[in-house]
Chains A and B, each alone.
Chain A
Amino acid sequence: DTGVSQDPRHKITKRGQNVTFRCDPISEHNRLYWYRQTLGQGPEFLTYFQNEAQLEKSRLLSDRFSAERPKGSFSTLEIQRTEQGDSAMYLCASSPLRAGLANEQFFGPGTRLTVL
């Protein structure tokens, strides 16, 4: 499968624990995005990378959240000291970099986080 993959697909954790999610984008894609989707809402942008550089972070991304893309390939999203309000689906997407064009983003299946 050459699509975007995410791991794990489901994560249940207790409040206060740290969790880390992984995203493997389509191999030739330069850009990688993280979104959060809660029930009944559309995905909300969290952050994105161009290669290994994190270019933008949403104000939704509190200090407890950190994302990395160390080699410009896969990315991790870590949530420290999880809270019940962090329960959501975390989506990863990737896109190629083609100047002047609106690039379609290819989405992974998501990681569903439940904080008890």
Chain B
Amino acid sequence: AQSVTQLDSHVSVSEGTPVLLRCNYSSSYSPSLFWYVQHPNKGLQLLLKYTSAATLVKGINGFEAEFKKSETSFHLTKPSAHMSDAAEYFCVVSELNRDDKIIFGKGTRLHILP
């Protein structure tokens, strides 16, 4: 069975400082992993995805994530936070050959302090 755990429900960082949103997963198969962002009153948008190619994945808006199989982690990072990054972030796991059904984490609310 697959599952995903987002370790922090809220993260606050100052503008211009690094962002780290943590995600651990559990999967019986070779997982694909995603990060989605949800801004208030907007639809979910894909930030980046890992699909067994490079373990360091670059996404939109300066975000990146590193797949670490030994730690079963897929943490999301950004070197310098911007006010517009304030949103809800979801880590998602999907198992190949499992019809792409995906499991969302509970989300991490990112707050950017001026």
Chain A interfacial positions (CB closer than 8 Å to B): 3-4, 31, 35, 40-45, 48, 50, 55-56, 91, 93, 95, 100-110
Min CB–CB distance A114 → chain B (angstroms): 15
Q: How many B residues have CB within 8 A of the partner chain?
A: 22
Among the listed A102, A109, A110, which residue makes an inter-chain contact with B100, where contact means beta carbons less than 8 Å apart?
A102
**Cα–Cα distance between A3 and B46 once the two chains are bound (Å):** 13
Tell whether, in the assembled complex, residue B107 and residue A42 are in contact, meaning their CB atoms are under 8 Å apart.
yes
Complex-state Cα separation, A55 to B100, whole angstroms: 12
Known: A42-B104, A95-B100. 14 other contacts (CB 8 A): A3-B43, A4-B43, A35-B104, A41-B106, A42-B90, A43-B44, A44-B104, A55-B99, A56-B99, A56-B101, A91-B44, A102-B34, A104-B49, A107-B43
Q: Which residues on B are within 8 Å of A, measured CB to CB?
A: 32, 34, 36, 42-46, 49, 51, 90, 94, 96, 99-107
In the bound complex, CA of A39 to CA of B78 (Å): 26
B90 / chain A contacts, CB cutoff of 8 Å: 42-43
Whether the pair B96, A100 counts as a contact (CB closer than 8 A) is: yes
